[in-house]
Structure 1
Amino acid sequence: MSEKVHRTDFGAPLHERRRVLTPSRQRHVPTAGSIDRRHRLVQAMKLLLPLAAAGLLGLLLLWPEFEGNDGRLSFRRGPAMVPEALQLVAPRFQGIDDLGRPYTITARVARQVGQEELMLLDRPQADILLNDGAWVYIEADNGRYDKPAQHLDLEGNVRIFHDTGLLFRTEAASVQIDQGSADGNRPTRAQGSFGTIESEGFELRDRGAVMIFTGKAHAVLEGRQQ
């Protein structure tokens, strides 16, 4: 019995024995069309994957430069890079005018302009001592200090104090420190014991001893009644 079965299984024609192969051993020969499609897919992936990686890297690098504003993207320019060697924090400049009187200029931050001895000042302040022991104090939002020329240009909320009680307010002023003079061509308001004067500009000479109000001026003077 067993020999008969043996002859039947292995003596059958070849095409009948192929039908009894297990599915795991069946193989499908790819067609020319499928091979061509696979080749095109591989070539496309070789091109697309590097482009996608480069795009992702660029997005990561540029993302801090963009801000969302109501669902929109806006470009924001970062602060200018300033070398640390050309920037001073809380600087103090001291000197002597043409009459040997000391003065001091300070600021929150000072930045050098190019290779010249010009300094851009943030929140500059200047103290000038006079012969009689009086003093003049000047402050502003921004300034430009030419150290060799002892010249100071001020802009933004400029205020000039004299210890006699005189106060000048304007938006821009030019101060020649060695000569003790100052002038400006912006609307000016001066206030002191004499009253109030408003003008289109001003000049201070002889370290505040002479005051000149330029342009149209309006004065409200105060005095004791006899």
Structure 2
Amino acid sequence: MTEPGEQSRIEADEARVALAGARWRARSRRVKLYRRVLPIIILVLAGGALTWTVFRTVMSGVERKASQSQEVRLDAPLFHGQDAQGRAFTVGAQGAVRDPATGHFRLIGPALKLNLGGRKVTELTADGGTYNEQAKTVTIGPNVRISDGGTGFVLTTPEALVDTSTGNVTGSKGVQGSGPIGTINASSYAIYDQGQRVVFDGAGDNKVMGVLTPKGSGG
């Protein structure tokens, strides 16, 4: 017959064994769960990191393109300036877009006015053009129309290059015109001193060469 004290120890040992077994089984279940869940968590985390990397790469590209494409658009702009001799000019347009990469203004329907002094004003219009403010040049075309206030000639040409520092206008893609002394058809032209002197040159079928100076210019 078992004594009461010994019986208590036996029951206590059995309880400890049962508790240890329960803990072992619980730990075993957790280990099995971790073995199943951890690979999934790792894949999710890796996928998330990859997705974030791809997302940041895409966003960086979008942000870079956005910063590069932040064009400045102007409605009916009008630029004022003076040439080296202090004569005023204006560069206007129906619209303009500033290229952030170059700083040039792309002109829509440009209209230029070069002041010759007094009422003498040379006016130029075209379908489009580019204003390089830093280089002090305006290139316009196609369908350029030049109304020269110095000689009274009206010229049409595919393209014109205006040097705003000197007021000179040049072109080498052909020119036709009419004025007080008749008509002219040439291969190239140059308007100097904001209309004080106009030079035409020809080649091939356009065998013309001449210089026009307005009255009172001393030419």
Instruction: Tell me, yes or no, whether TM beats 0.5.
Output: yes
The residue type equivalent to 1:140 in the other structure is A
Residues 124-143 of structure 1 correspond to what in structure 2 (within 5 A)?
Answer: 124-143=110-129
Tell me by how many angstroms 1:209 deviates. Answer: 2.0
How far, CA to CA, are the matches of 2:168 and 2:118 in structure 1? Answer: 17
Aligned to 1:186: 173
The structure where helix makes up a greater share of residues is 2
| Residue in structure 1 matched with residue 91 of structure 2 by the alignment | 105
Q: Report the counterpart of residue 145 of structure 1 in structure 2.
A: 131
Corresponding residue number in structure 1 for 2:78 = 92
1:195 aligns with 2:154: no
CA contact (8 A) 1:190 1:196 kept: yes
Residue 122 of structure 1 is matched in structure 2 by 108
Other-structure match for 1:205: 192
| Contact 1:197/1:218, CA 8 A, preserved across alignment | no
Q: Which amino acid aligns with 2:128?
A: N
CA distance in 2, matches of 1:166, 1:101: 21
Equivalent pair of 2:123/2:146 in contact (CA under 8 Å): yes
Per the alignment, in what secondary structure is the counterpart of residue 117 of structure 2?
A: coil
Give secondary structure in 2 for the equivalent of 1:207.
helix
Per-residue Cα deviation, 1:123-174 (whole angstroms, up to 9, x for no partner): 0001111134411101100110011222100111101112352111000111
User: How many residues are aligned here?
Assistant: 138
The TM-score with structure 2 as length reference comes to 0.58
1:200 to partner: Cα distance = 1.3
**Once the 2 structures are TM-superposed, how far is the Cα of residue 204 of structure 1 from its aligned partner?**
1.4
Larger RCO, structures 1/2 (Cα 8 Å, 6+ apart): 2
The runs of at least 4 aligned residues of structure 1 exceeding 4 Å deviation read: none
Write 1 or 2 for the structure with the bigger share of strand. 1
Q: Is the 8 A contact 2:114 2:194 kept in 1?
A: no
**Contact (CA 8 Å) 1:118, 1:147: kept in 2 or not?**
yes
Q: Distance in 2 between matches of 1:187 and 1:110?
A: 27
State the shift of 1:115 in Å: 3.9
Aligned 1:31-46 pairs, distance under 5 A: none
Q: Which runs of 5+ in 2 are unaligned?
A: 1-68, 209-219
CA RMSD of aligned residues (A): 2.0
CA distance in structure 1 between the partners assigned to 2:119 and 2:136 by the alignment: 21
Cα distance in 2 for residues equivalent to 1:129 and 1:208: 9
C-alpha distance in 1, partners of 2:119/2:195? 13
Residue by residue over 1:101-141, the C-alpha shift from the partner in whole angstroms, topping out at 9 and shown as x without a partner, is 21111111101112433100000001111134411101100
Q: What is the alpha-carbon distance in structure 1 between the residues aligned to residue 72 and residue 182 of structure 2?
A: 45
Instruction: Tell me the SS of whatever aligns to 2:202.
Output: strand
Structure 2: distance between partners of 1:101 and 1:133: 13
SS of the residue corresponding to residue 158 of structure 2 reads strand
Task: State the identity as a percent.
Answer: 28
Shift of 1:97: 1.1
2:165 alignment partner, SS class = helix
Stretches of structure 1 lacking an aligned partner (at least 5 in a row): 1-81, 220-226
Counterpart of 1:159 in structure 2 is 145
| Structure 1 segment 164-179 matched on structure 2, within 5 A | 164-179=151-166
